[in-house]
Structure 1
């Protein structure tokens, strides 16, 4: 094991600084890319039809599936420590980017149409809209997704900082590398010390970076009057008629003003203007769609060259392997279904509870974020060694290890549901709370008519991200090797991928990836795209 400056504790601090530095850089890059692709998907139909399904597919594909690509383009062609570092950063981007894109897309999609109309009236350009409308509207969602993305990056760090393909290891130093070294040395005390240092580092990151972002995100709501002080807020709550009157007058006044400006600025020939707008939209769709298709085709060519074409012809077209993949997929879908049900039953009530209690909820969500950001793969050796024997007394060794797998899967992605729902709950306009109090709605009616409609968009985005990321949790836990011992489930698609990577059979691993992509694409169009459209029609503050 590498010891820095002759001290184990200094080694841990050095590893944490390197890892957190990588994660910070990756998050900044990912937010920038998410704004571009999320806004583009929400505003251009052609981009939406291409980017969103691909994003959903890529989110469901485990990080390890990109190993053949990074092996060819970064480690082999660039080579050396620099090539390995770029490969690690690229793999981290694939772990955190996709849910950010979906969050921005969902937020921009639900911007009230009046805001878009005002932007058109004042002839605000695309950069102005991005800075003044789209970025502020997406800010709460970005903050909500940065928290689970931070946790996701820490989760995958054990895979990305140590890349093992067959008998070859490619690694950069950090928390992931150190945790693997400690596990292989059976240094469980060292793992516990590393976890304690990680808790402190995560807490400091939350206090100095994430908590200020949460406070800033509360400013970006689609409501007309924000309380200037707690005293003013209380006064307005006691004067319901005044609040509603001001709200109605402002909406009517702004609408009439917008209509008047539009009537003055638009020529008499309304049909010609509408045709020009439709023609302009059609041109934008053609240009954007053509560009994205060209980029996609070029990317697919290079991906095929990295081994995916051979995987398709050798395995996907073979009925024997399709049967094996299908049975393994059913086992993993069953595990995911159980974990998703548990996640909904635990994360949604907690998120709504904390979100509706904004001030007291900040501290609670801070503690929750710190605990949830502890990378569960670091805990996996401790779970296997100390927890599995106790569970096996009641369930047997096979079911006990399956329970371990589902625990890791739960810890890997349930936070996506919590923080997306929390972001939606904390952004409920205050006027709706005033109305609920005025009409003395019961708790059940508040949940049914206020909380539930408000959290649906965030719940859909969080569920989509969580289910995609559960595959990564299964990948980490279904096939585990440390200290010369191997622990594995009997059936599972992620088991097949892990064994193929361990054997150095990247073509077989690529074939499993292709099969997964087919399954995920079907789920995207049958389930998620329909849910997105339904939430857009039914649950927008218009």
Structure 2
């Protein structure tokens, strides 16, 4: 469940952004041809989100590797939970300061990442290039030796000829299952069924919310004024670290992401390296970073910002790569024809082109930074616990001591801050991106 919740949201935001950015003329064409819900999804909406979904899938898998240590090995009160896996192995090695074991664990992890990149991500990235909105085919496109081999394979062509009729019949069955657009068979009956479903869902959800709220109030009554002051102060310090990490990450991810997205040759070289860097659990490398910071006098105050950056900057980078790759090639050819300067290209073409993807990446990156605060502000290393004031430190400390009222208060405040940011900042920016 923890891996799923860590993976799903950035893909959800990516697909939402893709739907909101579909050109109006394509939506009108779907209405003119009276495509039903399945036809519109399969021929318009899914292709529109394909590039963003693939790159965010790469990021999701990298994020799953990143949080392995926190997921497979943790303490709750007086109980220790450990699952067999690479994450718990690296977590134990990091807590003991066993750098040799950390090196072997990272070597295995990097080998798995390289294999997944060659067999899955490179073919997918080259394949989704055909879904780009452009009138002129690009001269330089992503390449995959494995995809070229599969396309040339006579065996696979035979298999495809056998399987294609089954796929076509399945597609026709779905087309018949969905009612034609704007032609409901029995509007009153459909409305009545929809109202019943809505009423059941809202009623069940309301019961769960009321019960959960009552239980939460009973727990929060046990907190003292000093506990609330600790939570609010921690929220302030963690928010400052999140903002600093965001701006520092934007400084290098935007230019590098555009370079990778617009240069397929560079992408062939850097893409696996970026995936490896994004997938390596930062909590495994954090002891080395922390030792260096302690020796230089930086301490965990700077170290927590660094760990937040390690957890969030990849969301920005992968979304910028997807945005740069999705810009139609003819726009760049027009920029060459009109001899636009580098500043003019960034102002009138590149930044507007990547802006929707950048907003999606920023939302998921900020969420990742809030998550990373839990492991960056409360670190156990060689039997010692090193902390810095913040909401993540409060959550980790409350979890370790089994203080569930304080844990609920800190988690609720963190959730409230994220929701308020989405409402007041990200939603207006999404409208601007459209």
TM range (shorter): 0.7 to 0.9
Deviation at 1:293, TM superposition (A): 4.1
Q: Distance in 1 between matches of 2:341 and 2:222?
A: 61
Match in the other structure for 2:293:
388
- Secondary structure at 1:164's aligned position in 2? strand
Instruction: Tell me the C-alpha RMSD between the 2 structures.
Output: 2.8
Partner of residue 485 from structure 1, selected from 370, 381, 384 = 384
Q: Which runs of 5 or more structure 1 residues have no equivalent in the other structure?
A: 1-89, 231-272, 274-278, 393-398, 537-542
1:297 partnered with 2:203: no
Partner of residue 514 from structure 1, selected from 412, 420, 423 = 412
- Secondary structure at 2:131's aligned position in 1? coil
TM-score normalised to structure 1 length: 0.67
For residues 149-181 of structure 1, what are the alpha-carbon distances to aligned partners after superposition, in whole Å with 9 as ceiling and x for unaligned?
Answer: 112111211111123201112222111111122
For residues 111-165 of structure 1, what are the alpha-carbon distances to aligned partners after superposition, in whole Å with 9 as ceiling and x for unaligned?
Answer: 1122222222222221222222111111111112112211211121111112320
- Secondary structure at 1:163's aligned position in 2? strand
Q: Distance in 1 between matches of 2:397 and 2:324?
A: 42
Return closer, same or farther for 1:479/1:309 CA change in 2, 3 Å cut-off: same
Aligned length: 391
Q: Distance in 1 between matches of 2:138 and 2:326?
A: 14
Return closer, same or farther for 1:119/1:97 CA change in 2, 3 Å cut-off: same
For residues 453-487 of structure 1, what are the alpha-carbon distances to aligned partners after superposition, in whole Å with 9 as ceiling and x for unaligned?
Answer: 00100110101110111012221121112432111
Deviation at 1:390, TM superposition (A): 3.0
Return closer, same or farther for 1:527/1:170 CA change in 2, 3 Å cut-off: same
1:415 partnered with 2:288: no
Deviation at 1:286, TM superposition (A): 7.2
Partner of residue 345 from structure 1, selected from 212, 226, 251 = 251
Q: Distance in 1 between matches of 2:257 and 2:379?
A: 32
Match in the other structure for 1:169:
80
Match in the other structure for 1:442:
341
1:311 partnered with 2:210: no
- Secondary structure at 2:34's aligned position in 1? coil
- Secondary structure at 1:480's aligned position in 2? strand
Contact 1:152 1:413 survives alignment (8 Å) = no
Contact 2:63 2:278 survives alignment (8 Å) = no
Instruction: Note the 1:124-523 alignment, pairs <5 A.
Output: 124-226=35-137, 293-294=202-203, 296-297=205-206, 299-300=208-209, 303-304=212-213, 308-315=216-223, 320-385=226-291, 387-392=292-297, 399-489=298-388, 491-523=389-421
Contact 1:165 1:503 survives alignment (8 Å) = yes
Partner of residue 104 from structure 1, selected from 12, 15, 31 = 15
Contact 2:290 2:299 survives alignment (8 Å) = no
Return closer, same or farther for 1:428/1:413 CA change in 2, 3 Å cut-off: same
TM-score normalised to structure 2 length: 0.83
Deviation at 1:304, TM superposition (A): 5.0
Q: Distance in 1 between matches of 2:322 and 2:397?
A: 39
Q: Distance in 2 between matches of 1:146 and 1:412?
A: 16
Q: Distance in 2 between matches of 1:291 and 1:362?
A: 51
For residues 303-325 of structure 1, what are the alpha-carbon distances to aligned partners after superposition, in whole Å with 9 as ceiling and x for unaligned?
Answer: 558x534334444xx65443322
For residues 494-540 of structure 1, what are the alpha-carbon distances to aligned partners after superposition, in whole Å with 9 as ceiling and x for unaligned?
Answer: 1000000000122321111111222222211110111111111xxxx
